[in-house]
Chains A and B, each alone.
Chain A
C-alpha cells in the first residue's frame, strides 16, 4: 500500500483533540518551546503587524542545550474552515489544519500556512503568548506535511515518531521538573538550569540526555528524575 498523508482519525470519527497536548489556559510556561508550539500576536522579522505563528523546525535544530537558536523559522497561523480528515489526505497540501485550536463550546479552527513563513527572534517567542502545544501525534503530522510541502515526499509519521520522541520525552521531563521545583519556590530559569545540568551529566554516552535516545532507557530515566527530585527536596 502506498503511503498517503495522514490525518487525525476519520470523517466518521475525527480525533482533532489528539493534535494537542494543551490549549489555551491549559498551556504551562514550564514546558520548553518545542516544534508545533502556536503563538498568537508575536512580532516576526521585517513585519510591523504582529502575527499568529507555529514553530516549524525539528526539535533538534531549534535549540542547543537550554538556549533556543537566535532565530526560528515559523509559519503563519490564521483562521480556516474545518477540514474533515479525508481532506487532509487528498488536498490542502500547503497547510497543517489546526482544527479546534481554540477549544470550547464553539471551537475555532485555524491552519498553519507553509507558504507564509517568517523568521522570529528568540526573544519574541514570549511564553505568555503561547496558545497551544502539540501532542507527539500533532508534531508527527506537522513534520509530515511540512516535509511534503517542501519536497513532495511523504514519510510515514511512525518514522517521525522515532526521530522526535527522545526530544519530546526530554521536554516532558523538563516540564515536570520545573512545575515541581516552582512549587518548591525555585524560579523557572533556575529550575530549567537544574534539570538541564542533570540531563547533560558528564556529556558521556551514559548521561541521561544521551540515554533518552534509547527508548528502552526512558522509563528508567523517568524514575531517576523522580529520585533526583526527592534528593534535592530532602534537607
Chain B
C-alpha cells in the first residue's frame, strides 16, 4: 500500500496544477522545501519565474489560511453548540449562578438573553423558564466558557464583554450579542477581524453615530462631569 502523502507533497502538486506546468518543469526549489524565495535569480527571466512561484505560494497560503480559519470556526461553533446542549438542562439558577460568578450584571445578562431584569430575578428564585430561554441562557454560559479557551488573553470574560470594542464608541460585545450578532462576538474574541471591521459590520455609520463633542473629566468634588472638548 502506498504511504500517505505528506502535506508538502499535496501542496506542491496543487501548486503545479495552479501554474499549469508539468512536474518536469517545476523548478528545483519546490522539491528542496518550502523556502523557494531563498533561491537567487540570475536573469530577468529567472526573476519572473521566481515571482510567479512566490505569488503562487502566497495564494496557496491564503487558501490554506481560509480553509483552516473556516474549519476552526466551524469547530469552535460546534464546541459551543455541544456545550450548550450539555448545559441546557442545568436549570436557570445554576446557569445564572455561573454567569454571576463570572462577574456579569443581571441587567447585562437580561439584555443578552432578551428578557427583563425582573424575569432574571424570578429565574434566580427558582421560577421556571421556557425551553427557548433556557437554551439562550445555556448558550451564553457556553460562549463564556469557550471564548477564553480560544483567546488565552481573555482572563476575565465578564470584563471582556463589557469593554468597548474601540475607544471611539461605547459599543461592546454585550451590544453585539444582544443585537443578534453572536458570530461577530466570536470573531472579535478570536481577533480574526480587526476591531474597526467588527464595528463596521455592527453599524456602518458608527463613526457618526457615536461622534461626540464632549468629554468626561473628574471634577473638583471628585465626581465625573461632562464638558466640551477643546478644539
Using CB atoms and an 8 Å cutoff, list the residues of chain A in contact with chain B. 1, 3, 17, 21-22, 26, 28, 60, 135-136, 155-156, 158-163, 166, 169, 172, 176, 179, 213, 215-216, 218-220, 222-223, 226
Contacts and interface: CB of A to CB of B under 8 A. Distances in A.
A104 to B, nearest CB: 14
16 contacts: A1-B211, A17-B116, A21-B117, A136-B107, A155-B214, A155-B226, A156-B212, A159-B214, A162-B170, A163-B226, A172-B105, A218-B159, A219-B102, A219-B104, A223-B101, A226-B100
A222 B100 contact: yes
Contacts of A226: 100-101
Given A219-B102, A223-B102, A226-B100, 12 more contacts: A1-B209, A1-B211, A21-B116, A22-B116, A22-B117, A60-B223, A136-B107, A158-B170, A158-B212, A159-B215, A222-B100, A223-B101
Interface of B: 100-107, 116-118, 121, 156, 158-159, 162-163, 169-170, 208-216, 223-226
Contacts of A176: 106
B contact face: mostly helix, strand, loop, or mixed: mixed
Given A172-B106, A222-B100, A223-B101, A163 B216 contact: yes
Given A21-B107, A26-B118, A220 B156 contact: yes
Contacts of B216: 159, 162-163
Nearest to B157: A219
Contacts of B213: 3
A156 B105 contact: no
Contact of A219 (B162, B214, B225): B162
Contacts of B117: 21-22
Contacts of A219: 102-104, 156, 158-159, 162
A159 B159 CA distance: 20
B116 A26 contact: yes
Contact of B158 (A21, A179, A213, A222): A222
Contacts of A218: 103, 105, 159, 162
Given A156-B212, A220-B156, A222-B158, A161 B103 contact: no
Contacts of B226: 155, 159-160, 162-163
Contacts of A158: 169-170, 210, 212
A163 B102 CA distance: 25
A220 B101 CA distance: 10
A135 B107 contact: yes
Contacts of B158: 219, 222
A85 to B, nearest CB: 15
Nearest to A21: B117
Nearest to A143: B226
Ordered nearest first, which 6 A-B pairs have the shortest CB separation?
A219-B103, A26-B118, A219-B158, A163-B224, A219-B159, A1-B208
Contacts of B170: 158, 161-162
A3 B213 CA distance: 9
Given A22-B118, A26-B118, A28-B121, A220 B224 contact: no
Nearest to B169: A158
A213 B221 CA distance: 14
A160 B212 CA distance: 12
A226 B103 CA distance: 9
Contacts of A135: 107
B160 to A, nearest CB: 9
Contacts of A3: 212-213
Contact of B104 (A22, A163, A215, A222): A222
A60 B163 CA distance: 24
Contact of B107 (A160, A163, A172, A216): A172
Nearest to A59: B223
A77 to B, nearest CB: 21
Contacts of B209: 1
A213 B102 contact: no
A222 to B, nearest CB: 5
Contact of B212 (A22, A28, A159): A159
A222 B105 contact: yes
